[in-house]
């Protein structure tokens, strides 16, 4: 008899949780009530889940020499665009247009997951993720996070690990 999927969201889940279930990767979904007035999606997630902000990672989409690239960095820090460009093998990086990022990934801003994107983009995961047994990233919608091993995230997204975050 086939293994039953673990922790799938109701009504099929998000593309991120569907991808995790299909890959048979262990994960935990954390849901919280999203407050639209909160100034930071990532900090809100860390506070709502009671998880250290250095274990909660935000997904940012940047343009590296004309190629949309996903950067996954701790919410306790910020993205170093120059380091991202270097890690992605490019010369220049800038934040992508939010509408283009949403259209390309299939997710809304504040809910972009590095997993289950409409178009698979090159991904760079900040090396600090390696210091944790598990990290949390967006599960594909505001108010929903998925916790998984950083090695599983890197494997599923074909991510390059590199020091791309700056500490705030």
pTM of the entire predicted model: 0.90
Tokens of 13: 């889940």
pLDDT value at position 7? 40
Minimal CA–CA distance to 55: which of 136, 114, 160, 144?
136
Q: Exposed, middle or buried by CB within 10 Å (0-12, 13-18, 19+), for 129?
A: buried
Residues of the chain with confidence (pLDDT) below 50: 1-11
Position 80 scores a pLDDT of 98
- Using one digit for the tens of pLDDT, what is the confidence trace for 61-75? 999 999 999 999 999
How many other C-beta atoms can be found within 10 angstroms of the C-beta atom of residue 137?
27
DSSP 71-106: EEEETTEEE-HHHHHHHTT-S-EEEPPHHHHHHHHS
């Amino acid at each position: 008899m086939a293994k039953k999927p673990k922790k799938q969201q109701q009504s099929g889940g998000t593309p991120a949780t569907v991808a995790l279930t299909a890959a048979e990767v262990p994960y935990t979904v954390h849901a919280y009530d999203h407050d639209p007035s909160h100034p930071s999606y990532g900090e809100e997630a860390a506070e709502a889940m009671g998880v250290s902000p250095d274990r909660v990672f935000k997904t940012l989409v940047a343009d590296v020499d004309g190629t949309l690239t996903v950067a996954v960095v701790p919410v306790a820090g910020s993205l170093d665009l120059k380091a991202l460009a270097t890690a992605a093998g490019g010369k220049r990086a800038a934040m992508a247009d939010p509408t283009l990022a949403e259209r390309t990934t299939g997710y809304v801003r504040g809910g972009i997951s590095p997993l289950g994107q409409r178009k698979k983009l090159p991904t760079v995961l900040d090396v600090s993720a390696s210091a944790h047994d598990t990290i949390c990233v967006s599960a594909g919608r505001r108010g929903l996070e998925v916790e998984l091993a950083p090695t599983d995230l890197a494997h599923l997204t074909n991510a390059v690990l590199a020091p791309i975050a700056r500490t705030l």
